[in-house]
Structure 1
Amino acid sequence: MQHFLLSSKARSISLKAVFTMGEDKAYKTFCDMRWPENDGEAVCPRCGCVEVYGIATRRKFKCVACHHQFSVTSGTIFASRKMSFTDLLAAIVIFVNGAKGIAALQLSRDLDCQYKTAFVLTHKLREAMRREMAGRQLDGIVEIDGAYFGGYSKPENRKEDRKDRRLKANLTGKRQCVVIMRERGGKSLPFIVRNEGDAVPFVRDHVGTLTTIMADEGTGWDALHAGWDTRRINHSVAFSDEGACTNQAESYFSRLRRMEVGTHHHIAGPYLNAYAGEASWREDNRRTDNGAQAGMVAMAAMGSRVSRQWKGYWQRAG
């Protein structure tokens, strides 16, 4: 039987379809996503009035009630965008098509835009993805595991000068732990902590009390036995034992590692949380066709408020 990702059902949208639809249809698509409850007809974001008229020469609207002028992207994560709607839609399709993520440099070449534009755009899309995880609760059987990222220290040239980089005394202090909590057959939720055991308070907030938790033999998970039915697996002996395993959590880390090694090369530091959330979203929706994925990301972006982290990012940095 053919794998879903290799079948035609997994390919429901293409760049060819995006670029042949034209700017007007791409614009209408964003209107439909911004105001789905009003069949794509504009609604004033300030007072909620549905009586607006269009300023066709500028692709803007003006509210009859409060006279507020706005566009389809006003107040969203795409506010103040300069890219055409066709390029914006194409960027979303390119972004979701990358099974292990898409590098900002590659996106800038594909769309013929500045690297800065592609970098900020991809991070805005990751921020929109995280909205889906806000307040998420996990139940049933939940696998939990942690993996460490960042804190790389380059070895010395001469052998006699090299230090054992596994020892705590020789670590840079920049290493962070990504903890993933993942329902079997359901959704996942990542967190960034200093050490594995520091994630236990997050488990209390986001995992139901009747949940069965699967974890490895790491000492940080010993506290889980006090609140949940917890089963442990010793990976030095076996990867699975009578249903106890963390294979789904390991699958998540496999994707995140390939994103780090093969695509982004550096995902640690202040941006690790964004990449961890992206990997979680991709794992949760890996059996969804790319057209539906593009729609989900676009809808999330149009439903998000202006990004406080990424608005004016390069102006502040400069």
Structure 2
Amino acid sequence: MQHFLLSAQARTISLKAVFSMGEDKAYRTFCEMRWPETEGEAVCPRCGCVETYNITSRRKFKCVACHHQFSVTSGTIFASRKMSFTDLLAAIVIFVNGAKGVSSLQLSRDLDCQYKTAFVLTHKLREAMAKEMAGRQLDGTVEIDGAYFGGYSKPENRKEDRKDRRLKMNLTGKRQCVVIMRERNGKSLPFVVKNEGDAVPYVRDHVGTLATICADEGAGWDALHAGWETKRVNHSVAFMDKGVCTNQAESYFSRLRRMEVGTHHHIAGPYLYAYAGEASWREDNRRVANGGQAAMVTAAAMASRVSRQWKGYWQKTR
């Protein structure tokens, strides 16, 4: 049986189609994504009035009621953008086409823009993706597992000076744990904590009390038995025991590891949660055609407010 990603159904949009549609059609696409309830007709973001003047020379609108002037990206995550709508749409298509993510350097070369522009743009798209997971509740059979990222310790040159980098005393202290909670054949939800056991409060907030949790033998998950029907599998003995496994969680970590090793190379630090959320979104929508994925990301970006974290990122002290 042919894999979905190899089928024609997985390819419903291409860069060729984006660049051939022209700026006017790309602009119309963003209007329809911003105001789907009015089929792309402008709605004032200040007072909600549906009657507007169209200022065609500047691609802006003026509200009839409050006289507020706005554009299709005003108040969204793309506010104050300088890229053309065609390039924005192409960036989204390139972004979703990468099964294991797309590096900012590659995107900057594909679109002939600065690395800074591509870096901030991809993080804005990740922020829009994360809006879909806000307040998500998981039920049914939920698999949970954790994996550690970052905190690399460089080995010494001479063998006699080297230390066992697996020991806690020789770690840098920067290592973080990504915990994934994933429904079988359903949605997933990642968190970034210091240790696996620190994720238990998040489980209480986002997993239904009637759910069945599957976890490995890690001691951090012992507290789960007090609130849920919890089934454990000892990975030192078997990966699956009588139907109990964490294979769905391991599938998520496989994608995140490939993103780290093959694409981004460094996803640790303060933005690890953003890459973890991206991997979760890609896993949840892996059976959606790339055209559908591009539409989902565009709609999420147009529905998101101005990013307080990424607006003016390079003008601030980091």
- The TM-score normalised by the length of structure 1 is 0.99
Q: 1:104: which partner in 2? A: 104
Q: 2:155: which partner in 1? A: 155
Q: 1:272: which partner in 2? A: 272
Aligned residues between the structures:
318
Q: 1:285: which partner in 2? A: 285
Matched, 1:189 2:209: no
Answer with 161-170 or 111-120: which moved more.
161-170
What is the Cα deviation at residue 317 of structure 1?
Answer: 3.2
Runs of 4+ in structure 1 deviating by more than 4 angstroms, as ranges, are: none
Q: What whole-Å deviation, never above 9, does each CA across 1:8-51 have from its counterpart, x for those lacking one?
A: 00000000000000000000000000000011000000000111
Q: What whole-Å deviation, never above 9, does each CA across 1:213-267 have from its counterpart, x for those lacking one?
A: 0000000000000100000000111111111000000000000000000000000
C-alpha distance in 2 between matches for 1:292 and 1:279: 17
C-alpha distance in 2 between matches for 1:73 and 1:307: 12
C-alpha distance in 2 between matches for 1:71 and 1:217: 54
Matched, 1:315 2:318: no
Q: 2:47: which partner in 1? A: 47
Amino acid across the alignment from 2:297? V
Query: What are the equivalent positions in structure 2 for 1:1-318 lying under 5 Å apart?
Result: 1-317=1-317
C-alpha distance in 2 between matches for 1:82 and 1:184: 42
SS, match of residue 174 in structure 1: coil
Amino acid across the alignment from 1:154? K
SS, match of residue 157 in structure 1: coil
SS, match of residue 316 in structure 2: helix
C-alpha distance in 2 between matches for 1:271 and 1:317: 16
Amino acid across the alignment from 1:118? A
What's the % identity of the aligned pairs?
A: 86
For structure 1, list consecutive stretches of 5 or more residues without a partner in the other structure.
none
SS, match of residue 253 in structure 1: helix
Root-mean-square deviation (CA), in Å? 0.6
- The TM-score normalised by the length of structure 2 is 0.99
For structure 2, list consecutive stretches of 5 or more residues without a partner in the other structure.
none
